[in-house]
Structure 1
Amino acid sequence: MDSKPVLFALEGSQTFGEAVAEQLDISLAEHEHRDFGDGEHKARPLERVRGRDVYVLHTLFGDDNASVNDKLLTLLFFIATVRDAGAARVTALLPYLAYARKDRRTKDYDPVTTRYVGQLFEAMGVDCVVALEVHNRAAFDNAFRCRTLHLEAHGLFVDEIRDDIGDRPVVIVSPDAGGTKRADRFRDVWVERTGDQPPTAFLEKRRSEGEVSGEAVVGDMEDRVAIIVDDLVAGGTTLLRAVDACRRKGASEVYGVITHGLFGEGSEKLYDNETMTRLLVTDSVRPRMEPGDTGKVTLVSVAGLFADAVRRLRGE
């Protein structure tokens, strides 16, 4: 294989791709993308890939320019194209993995879409899938029979807020019982970086017909800075419910630490919420709305995580 990796960033993911390429001290590889009037599309590399180590980056979140399904198919077809063109190895870099939340059956005859997506990647000839903070890591690992690499932004978040919080006591909070493993992992990183060993807490949460309920808080947070840890925020209902519950339980301040800021309909209320001290999200998804003037929302770059993953896979 050639000494340098070949990195493509597909339509809509170029800004993130350029940041990764800069970290790797390379240029993004050129490709062509065309949309046709009937809704079909095609993408092809404009550089030689035969015998080379190829990385294809795409964040699989639907926006005003392309649906999640369009992006997924574009990525799958592009992986197959570079494989047909003789690439020695093809790795998919996914800042946001679509359908990762549908990883199990909760009702009779439910689809297990995460597994189906994994099968599609394998069918296209991918050698490795690198994803940032999927909803359920065990389900992600089990869904793919090819090599997988799971990335976490916990260390970046801790570094971003530790000076703000200083030596004040902290509690790490999961907005529901199902996210306690994620909160525990964040706590582990907090301990590694600060030496402090904070307690954890979680909230009761029930969802029925799209409605979220449950107000009980399990854990002590009186006069502590509460750090709510979750993998994504869409409309913000779950996050703000958790913020209010932490305040009622006696938290002195509340931080939100969210990997994927999807910011769907109704999320504008996150920008002017008076009870939340600060909200941190990564740039895994290009935000649909820009942070307001309150300064409460901070975007944390994870391009370095993906550059490090490329180096790791290449044995550098």
Structure 2
Amino acid sequence: MPSTQEPKLIAGNANPTLARAIARRMSMHRGQSLDLVNARVERFNDAEIFVEVYENVRGEDMFIIQPTSNPANDNLMELLIMADALRRSSAARITAVIPYFGYARQDRRTKARTPITAKLVANMLTEAGIERVLTMDLHAAQIQGFFDIPVDNLYASPVFALDLKNAFRGRMEDVMIVSPDVGGVARARDLAKRINAPLSIVDKRREKAGEVAEMTVIGDVTGKTCIIVDDICDTAGTLCKAADTLIQQGAAEVHAYISHGVLSGPAVERISNSVMKTLVTTDSIEPTKAVRDCEAIRIVPTAPMFAQAILNIWNGTSVSSLFEAETLGPIYEGLYSDV
């Protein structure tokens, strides 16, 4: 049983909108108001980060909500400094809720004399006093093994399955899930099984980093409504080219479901001008004004899932129960109530 009356949430500057939404959902679940802990996370003139917690957190179960998205270094340092402040204030336990785990793409040495930065970040989080990590759709699942503390990795695919059944109601038989590369097949296959849809793969060959030389579609997509599934969309170059390739191979429509919308540089413009009809992403990363204003981009909320996961961790109950659409359905009631 929890030793404190309620879990305590604190947020940095990376995604305050999501943090407030999580607090609201937890308030609904518990039937009593739960606000973010009053604190300030500021910068001195030389850009040094300073944290001050205004409330007593001694003996409390603390949850820091802070994705390490752009600017990744600043948001990571905020997370580390908040953890240190809470540890020195005698918090009973500190859990880092990191909806988007930055540096996850640097999970192995691809060439000589390169770092494994994801492991370095894991070490830093542990040394800062964090005792548990809650995240979503790690770029590589084996990153969980970089930590010597518990890591709960949630999945966007159950939420995407609910959204797909709602958005493509009445024509699910035409839907085909597409992995944009061989490395993402497991993620795409998982979603395909959830909605009982066939699977196709776009095989890409790179001549050098950042450039895709050739794409080949494995599977018959003729007349299909193709759903490209991936964990990260950065500049959207590969995604848009995959959409073009699918249309050239006879696909009727192309849509995309992306767990983390990094959407940097020319991404929004590319998506707007692409043959893709829609790109659906989550709010794990605070959307920019350009993203919010883009008619082709739709954002699915993750607050209901993270709120329930935090409550389950606090109560000492199963987090893996949130891996299934049957469990998430009631949590998302109202948004997908008829699915």
Q: For residue 134 of structure 2, what is the aligned residue in structure 1?
A: 130
Distance 1:122 1:274 in 2: 42
Contact 1:233 / 1:263 at 8 angstroms: preserved in 2?
A: yes
1:256-282 deviation per Cα after TM superposition (whole angstroms, max 9, x unaligned): 001111111111334423521211011
**Could you tell me which amino acid in structure 2 is paired with residue 75 of structure 1?**
L
- 1:147/1:296 CA distance change after superposition, 3 Å: same
User: SS of the residue aligned with 1:228?
Assistant: strand
Q: For residue 193 of structure 1, what is the aligned residue in structure 2?
A: none
Q: What is the correspondence of 1:70-149 to structure 2 with a 5 Å cutoff?
A: 70-138=74-142, 140-149=143-152
Q: For residue 31 of structure 2, what is the aligned residue in structure 1?
A: none
Distance 2:281 2:111 in 1: 32
Q: For residue 42 of structure 2, what is the aligned residue in structure 1?
A: 34
Distance 1:106 1:44 in 2: 40
The total of aligned residue pairs comes to: 306
Distance 2:274 2:292 in 1: 13
Q: TM-score if structure 2 supplies the norm length?
A: 0.86
**Could you tell me which amino acid in structure 1 is paired with residue 117 of structure 2?**
T
Distance 1:153 1:105 in 2: 27
Q: For residue 17 of structure 1, what is the aligned residue in structure 2?
A: 19
Distance 1:274 1:110 in 2: 35
**Could you tell me which amino acid in structure 2 is paired with residue 7 of structure 1?**
L
Matching residue within 178, 183, 204 for 2:183: 178
* Unaligned residue ranges in structure 2 (runs of 5+): 28-33, 318-339
Q: CA RMSD in A?
A: 1.7
Q: TM-score if structure 1 supplies the norm length?
A: 0.92
| Structure 1 residue 28, shift from structure 2 partner | 0.8
Distance 1:74 1:295 in 2: 32
Q: What is the correspondence of 1:144-159 to structure 2 with a 5 Å cutoff?
A: 144-159=147-162
Distance 1:24 1:189 in 2: 27
RCO comparison, higher one (Cα < 8 Å, 6+): 2
Distance 1:293 1:27 in 2: 29
User: SS of the residue aligned with 1:232?
Assistant: strand
Identity of aligned residues (%): 31
Distance 2:292 2:119 in 1: 38
Q: For residue 30 of structure 2, what is the aligned residue in structure 1?
A: none
Q: Does 1:56 align with 2:90?
A: no
User: SS of the residue aligned with 1:80?
Assistant: helix
**Could you tell me which amino acid in structure 1 is paired with residue 106 of structure 2?**
K
Distance 2:105 2:193 in 1: 24
Structure 1: 4+ residue segments shifted above 6 A: none
Q: Does 1:235 align with 2:238?
A: no
Q: For residue 8 of structure 1, what is the aligned residue in structure 2?
A: 10
User: SS of the residue aligned with 2:272?
Assistant: coil
User: SS of the residue aligned with 2:178?
Assistant: strand
